[in-house]
Amino acid sequence: MSAVRKRSVIVAGHKTSVSLEEPFWEELATIAAARGQSISALIGEIDHTRNGNLSSALRLLVLDDLRRRADS
């Protein structure tokens, strides 16, 4: 089981904290690198389009990306 890790990120010009398990942080880094952007930029995109909790939206992004890669 992975412990939840809180990180501070800049989103839309303001500092916020996001809590995720380490494997999610690792996958977010992979997704951001594949898109040629920083983790903060990726989180900013999700923050702009999300409907619910930011941490949940990020977990869903990771899940969707892993499913997409598994289907490829």
Asked if 5 contacts 22 with a C-beta cutoff of 8 angstroms, the reply is: yes
Residue range 8-54, pLDDT digits in tens: 999 888 899 999 999 999 999 999 999 999 999 999 999 999 988 99
Residue range 41-59, pLDDT digits in tens: 999 999 999 988 999 999 9
Domain ranges of the chain: 4-71
Q: What local confidence, expressed as pLDDT, does residue 21 receive?
A: 96
Spatial separation of the C-alpha atoms in residues 44 and 50, rounded to whole Å: 10
Spatial separation of the C-alpha atoms in residues 16 and 24, rounded to whole Å: 17
Q: 4-71 — its CATH code?
A: 1.10.3990.20
Q: What local confidence, expressed as pLDDT, does residue 19 receive?
A: 96
What is the largest distance, in Å, between two alpha-carbon atoms of the chain? 36
